[in-house]
Amino acid sequence: MKLGMVWSVAAAEMRSTRRLARTWVFIVVAVLLCAGQWLNLSAAHAFSSYISPAAGLLGPRYLIVGLSALALMIFNIGIVFLAFDVRARDIKDRIGEAIDTRPMSNLSLLAGRLIGIILVTSIAVLAIFAFISFFGWLAETAGWMIGSSIEPTSVISFLLFDIIPNFALWGSLTIFLTVVLRNRLFVVVVVLVLMVGMFYVLTRLPYFVTAALSTSSFNQVFPSDLLPRIFFADVMINRIVMLLLSAGFLVLAAALHPRQEPVGRRPVFLGAGSLVLVLGIAGVLGLYFSESSKLRQVEEWAALHKAHQNASQTDIERIKGTVTLQPGRRIALDLSITIVSNDFGATKDLLFNLNPGYKIRTLTLNGKRLTSNDYQFEGGLLTVAREERSTSTEELQLVADGVPDSSFAYLDSALDFSEMDYSDFENLFFYGQENYIFHSNYFALMPGVSWLPTSGSAYGTTDWEIRPQDFFEVDLEVDVPNGWLVAGPGTRQILDEGERTRFRFIPRIPIPEVALLGSKFAHRSMAVGGTNFELLLSKEHMKNLDVLEPMVPALEQWIEDRLVELRKVGLDYPLETLTLVEVPASLRVYGGGWRMDSVYSPPGIHMLRESGLPTARFENSLRLGREKVVDDDDLAQYLLWIVGTFFENDYHGGNPFISLSKNLVTYQTMPEGAGATALAFVVDEIASRLAFERTRTGYFSIHMAMSRTDSSQAMGAVAGAGFVSGMGEFNWRERFSNLPSVWDSVLAQSLSGIDYHSDPREAYHALLLKGSSIADSVLEGFEEEEVGLFLNELTSRFSGRSYSDQEFFDTALDLGLDFQLLLGDWLHGTGLPGFIVADQSVERLQDTSTGEAVYQTSFILRNDEPVPGVVSVVYEGLWGKKQREMNRMKPIRIDGNTSVRIVFQSDTPVHQVWVDPHLSLNRESLLVNIPPMKDYQPTDSPQLPYVTEVEWKAQDAMAVIVDDLDSGFAVETDDVIEDSAMPGWLGYFLALPDPEYDRGLPTLRSTFAWSLPFPIIGDRFSRWYRDAEPTSYGKYRHTYAVNPSGSSLSTSTFSAQLPSLGRWNLEYHVPNFKREKKEWDYVASNTYGYRRFIDFGNHQIEIQAGNGVKSIEFDVESATEGWNDLGQFDVESPEVAVVITQSDDVGIADAVRWTRAEEPTN
């Protein structure tokens, strides 16, 4: 095969292909779709990236992730339609015979034609990306609101290792099938079926297989400015295999081509093509077995470490030594490890975990150099034999070097990566792919890869119920190349700045883990209140420092205020320096264990993903919010609010409000034994509220990310907010944890009894719901200063070691805090308080001596459960007709089965009163329905105290009430409705969640307000749903059932057993929400909204009170709020039923009440 001849054919094919109309059709389609996708993602990033760091992943800088799949798909199809008629086109153009007589081989002809087609399509792809890159650069340079340049190495990698190999593979396959089948339509069908089939199969196989065999790399590793990488070794091997397959198809096509060839050449081509094809298939199998082998290795490591999870409780007291880093090449450890010789459990041997990528050079115990017979280092488990147990500390000298194996990380992860398919991994992709980073430009040594030796095995490190946390002192010298900066635990001390730079980290407290991150960072720092705050960013990402510079005075003041408040309550940041450091977006966010919590805040460090704060478009928030800025102070406060809300909305694991507070307590001491996980969570929640104000919370769960529905709708909510409502807080906690299924879990098990491993997602949400409410109740029931001093005492007593639940409660009691008296057995018990409101009133008292009006509001609050609880009263006062003021009263503790009268005075009439019960059977705040004042004349009533214990008089003692939550309420649904449910594929496409069920009925308020299980075809509104409304009836919970269409295909029934026969009054309860007059109320949604029901009309009701059935009409639209009389009925049988069969519009079923109209008859 002559290269000159091949090039001549390629040039001719390029000219011919350019003249084909279908070539330009594909190019135009590709330009339109790619430009549309770029514009969509750029706009979403421009207006949403300052709302949440999660939106930064949509940015045009990383456009290759969102665009490459689309471009590859379009042009792969284009290649098929350009190559399927290479022979037929010659015949059609009447040049077939001329070509057949040319002195060139079939291989030269077909190779030249394939290269020509590849070059035409590749140039088109290159032009598209060059145009997008230029436009992005222009947008960036000109300061436009939308657009920025694409990370260049990701584009180069895509063009070289995705475009060319894919075009070669599908082009050569098409040519081969064209020669064999000789039917263009059949060829197109076969190739497209193979293309779709391969995609389908790869998305259904375990992801480790897909990763090995995938023909694209856009979902392998996220692009990065900090780590500009063009290729990866495994991708290179994959592409070589693709090119081998391409060559095999092409050579076989040349052998089978009808054009004449010299005698003897065809068998050679057939043999060579078959051999190359076999090599390619062998390469595919090799890739599969290679990935399988890696996975088996990880499983073997996990099994080994799990077997030793409780075998040893080696207690490391101190790690001192030198870490020498040659980024991308080698790590050298020279460490002295001090071990405390406690009771070592089942074995006298010392047990450590250390990444198997290291090679141990020397090991010395108590001055004696150990031989290979004295220790074993296998699978990341280092076992050091001892002849006898010691009663003092011991010294282990370790010298080792190597490069940590990235697969040796988070061995106890709740997610099973061996079973994870492509769609599951696609959800995880945006949460980082690399367990740690050791690159020539950057390193991030994460504790999860055991780059530093730690005690015990690497399995179950967060199972504190059975394995206490190990804390140790650290004194590390870190040697790095000159010009590098390193973030570590606490203050970075400079020891030497010669040819290489040496830093020292020696935190003043024992810590549970060590992370080191380094690069040639740009550096900013400030000292506030005796604590250093440091920011390490890539030198390419400095723009936002200028944008946010006006915020610095407000930020300093806010930090100082928080430190002052912390110190008031006896707490302080213990590490002297807090470093915020930028990390590549490819660095894995989540760790291991059942929770797989964020790993982005190890001691003394908080990591900022490059896709977040460093590259967010904060300048756009200024452009859009100029009306809120009057002067420099307003600008500083506005930017501070923007940045604070930005972090609070981060559900991708980078929220400092839920992680930095660990430095205050749980990085110094941890609970152990029964309930340790729950107790640690509550302590973290309390510390977080003390550190960052109670309004600053957050949410992170990798298990949420595994749900395509939840992750898609969360991202849709963030992106939609940028286009519609602008800046706002999403309160992810409420959306994901305050659900009926989570409440069922909370009521069924105690905090200490939660099974974290069988359903980690549900367990975390139960912990979040109950644990955070316990933290709120503690801070409401005690003074903040008392709680802070308690946490300070806890860390002082148990610094560097663990404590039991009894030691926790004893420490609190020593300081006068009785947690169990406040809330009962909240850790090991399942009971909750339940509150009832009664006897509401308001009156005007005599004016004050200065002539100010005094209004006195009163109501009784009953805790009708044996468990004590804490409540807060919030009232809304009126200032004129429209102005209102919210007032929060002092929290009240109410014993079990106790009633109190709550009274407060105000200088204006009260508009609304709410009782916030925190954690109770009420589940939500109670509306105290204060009757409107009819007489504003002052009375002679005295001012009553805030809280007085009173006797409880049972409400409706003589009535029989059936609520929609009672067992007497039931719904019957016609099969037609069930058959009209939305097809599964459509629900998947729309990313709709499975409905949440509350006592058997689907809820209107599911994970998101718009997540309704309405089918979009057939009788979609004909079923009954459950929703909450403060004015509906209920003992604890105020809910109602609603039928959106009022259809007779679904009926609801209130059944009761009356105590006697005779004449009874029947009443029907109607909530107050019908008075809302908003015709349509759409909530933010990337799919659809729903109607706020306000039209009710007549209800057809059947009363079954004996042998007969009486039908009546009840006009709900004209009914009054509360109980409405339906009439008197002669009850001939104790079993009665009220059936709502149909409504003119929306059907409502809240509650019915039966009361005797006369003395019962026997």
Query: pTM value?
Result: 0.89
| Pair 1014, 1021: CB distance under 8 Å | yes
What is the pLDDT averaged over residues 357-379? 93
Query: Is residue 598, in this structure, part of any structural domain at all?
Result: yes
Average the pLDDT over each of 100-109, 235-244, 1024-1033 and give the range with the smallest value.
Answer: 100-109
**b vs e for 679-704, b when ≥16 Cβ sit within 10 Å of the residue's Cβ?**
bbbbbbbbbbbbbbeeebbbbbbbbb
Segments forming the whole domain that contains residue 405: 315-616
pLDDT at position 1012: 40
Task: Give rounded-to-5 percent helix, strand, coil for the chain.
Answer: 35, 25, 40
Instruction: Please indicate, yes or no, whether residues 367 and 232 belong to a single structural domain of this protein.
Output: no
pLDDT in tens, 225-264: 998 888 788 888 888 999 999 999 999 988 887 766 666 6
Would you place residue 935 in the very low, low, confident or very high pLDDT band (cuts 50, 70, 90)? confident
Q: Are residues 320 and 273 in the same domain?
A: no
Which of residues 1010 and 1037 earns the better pLDDT score? 1037
Tell whether 377 and 474 lie within a shared domain.
yes
Question: Does 1049 map to a domain?
Answer: yes
Given a cut of 80, whether residue 316 has pLDDT beyond it is: yes
User: pLDDT over 90 for what percent of the chain?
Assistant: 54
Report the CATH number at residue 1088.
2.60.120
Say whether both 188 and 255 belong to one domain. yes
Q: Is residue 774 part of a domain?
A: no
Same domain, 897 and 983: no
727 φ/ψ sector (left φ>0, alpha ψ -120 to 50, else beta): beta
Least confident of 80-84, 175-179, 986-990: 986-990
The residue assigned the tokens 């549309």 is 36
Q: Are residues 941 and 1023 in the same domain?
A: no
Given this model, what pLDDT does residue 1086 score? 30
Asked if 506 contacts 499 with a C-beta cutoff of 8 angstroms, the reply is: no
Q: Are strands 577-583 and 531-537 parallel, antiparallel or unpaired?
A: parallel
How far apart CA 226 and CA 578 sit, in angstroms, is 22
Position 1007 pLDDT exceeds 60: no
For 275-296, how does the pLDDT look when each residue is reduced to its tens digit (9 = 90+)? 998 998 898 888 888 888 888 9
Residue 658 class from Cβ within 10 Å (0-12 exposed, 13-18 middle, 19+ buried)? Answer: buried
Rounded CA-CA distance 774/685 in Å is 9
pLDDT above 80 for 693: no
Q: Same structural domain for residues 1050 and 916?
A: no
Report pLDDT digits (tens) over 1057-1067: 999 998 999 99
946 with 964, same domain: the answer is no
Q: Are residues 469 and 557 both part of a single domain?
A: yes
Tell me if 131 is assigned to some domain. yes
For the segment 780-799, the average pLDDT, to the nearest whole number, is 94
- Classify 997 as helix, strand or coil: strand
pLDDT at 933 over 50: yes
Whether residue 1159 is predicted with pLDDT greater than 70 in this model: the reply is no
Residue-wise DSSP of 556-602: HHHHHHHHHHHHHTT---TTSEEEEEEE-TTB--B-STTTT-B-S--
pLDDT tens digits along 452-473: 999 999 999 999 999 999 999 9
Closest residue by Cα to residue 438 from 299, 290, 565, 586 = 586
Residue 100: predicted pLDDT: 59
The candidate with the shortest Cα–Cα distance to 661, out of 638, 639, 694, is 694
pLDDT band at 58 (very low <50, low <70, confident <90, very high): confident
Q: What is the CA radius of gyration of the chain?
A: 35
Contact 208, 288 (CB under 8 A): no
The domain boundary, picked from 894, 929, 950, lies at 950
Contact criterion met (CB below 8 Å) for 1113 and 1098: yes
* Residue where one domain finishes, among candidates 277, 292, 307: 292
- Classify residue 754: in a domain, yes or no: no
Q: What is the CATH number of the domain that holds 913?
A: 2.60.40
* pLDDT value of residue 447: 97
pLDDT of residue 229: 84
Are both 81 and 229 inside the same structural domain? yes
What's the CATH code of the domain at 427?
2.60.40.1730
Residue pointed to by tokens 């094919």: 13
- Domain count for the chain, please give it: 4
Tens of pLDDT, residue by residue over 818-877, are 998 999 899 999 999 999 999 999 999 999 988 899 999 999 999 999 999 999 999 987
Residues 45, 145: Cα–Cα separation, whole Å: 10
Of 909, 924, 950, which marks where a domain is finished?
950
Highest mean pLDDT among 329-343, 716-730, 1085-1099: 329-343
Three-class SS string for 265-291? Answer: HHHHHHHHHHHHHHHHHHHHHHHHHHH
Give the pLDDT confidence score for residue 927 in this predicted structure: 92
Average pLDDT over the chain reads: 86
CA proximity to 562, closest of 596, 598, 531, 584:
531
DSSP helix/strand/coil, 48: helix
Whether the predicted pLDDT of 981 surpasses 90: no
**pLDDT band at 976, cuts 50/70/90?**
very low
Nearest to 864 by CA among 770, 967, 952: 952
- pLDDT at site 96: 57
Tell me, yes or no, whether 880 and 1002 share the same domain. Answer: no
pLDDT at 977 over 80: no
| Range in 128-132, 562-566, 1014-1018 with the lowest mean pLDDT | 1014-1018
1051 with 1140: CB under 8 angstroms? yes
Residue 76 confidence (pLDDT) above 80:
yes
What confidence category does residue 879 fall into, taking pLDDT thresholds of 50, 70 and 90?
Answer: low
Same domain, 122 and 187: yes
Q: What is the pLDDT of residue 1107?
A: 75
**pLDDT for position 322:** 97
What is the distance between the alpha carbons of residues 1068 and 1074, in angstroms, rounded to a whole number?
Answer: 15
Confirm whether 480 is domain-assigned: yes
Order of all β-strands in the sheet with 1147-1149: 1025-1028, 1039-1043, 1147-1149
User: What pLDDT score was predicted for residue 184?
Assistant: 84
Average pLDDT over residues 868-893: 81
Has residue 644 been placed in a domain? no
Degrees to nearest 5, angle at CA 820 with 814 and 825: 140
Does residue 175 contact residue 109 with C-beta atoms inside 8 Å?
Answer: no
**Over 90: is that where the pLDDT of 200 sits?**
no
Q: Which of 901, 930, 936 is nearest to 913 (CA)?
A: 930
* Cα separations in angstroms, 1118 against 854, 1069, 1139: 36, 13, 20
The pLDDT assigned to 1023 comes to: 76
For the stretch 1040-1052, pLDDT in tens is 998 877 666 778 9
On whether residue 41 sits in a domain, the answer given is yes
Q: Which stretch of 89-103, 682-696, 1080-1094 has the lowest confidence by average pLDDT?
A: 1080-1094
Of the chain, the percentage scoring pLDDT greater than 70 comes to 89
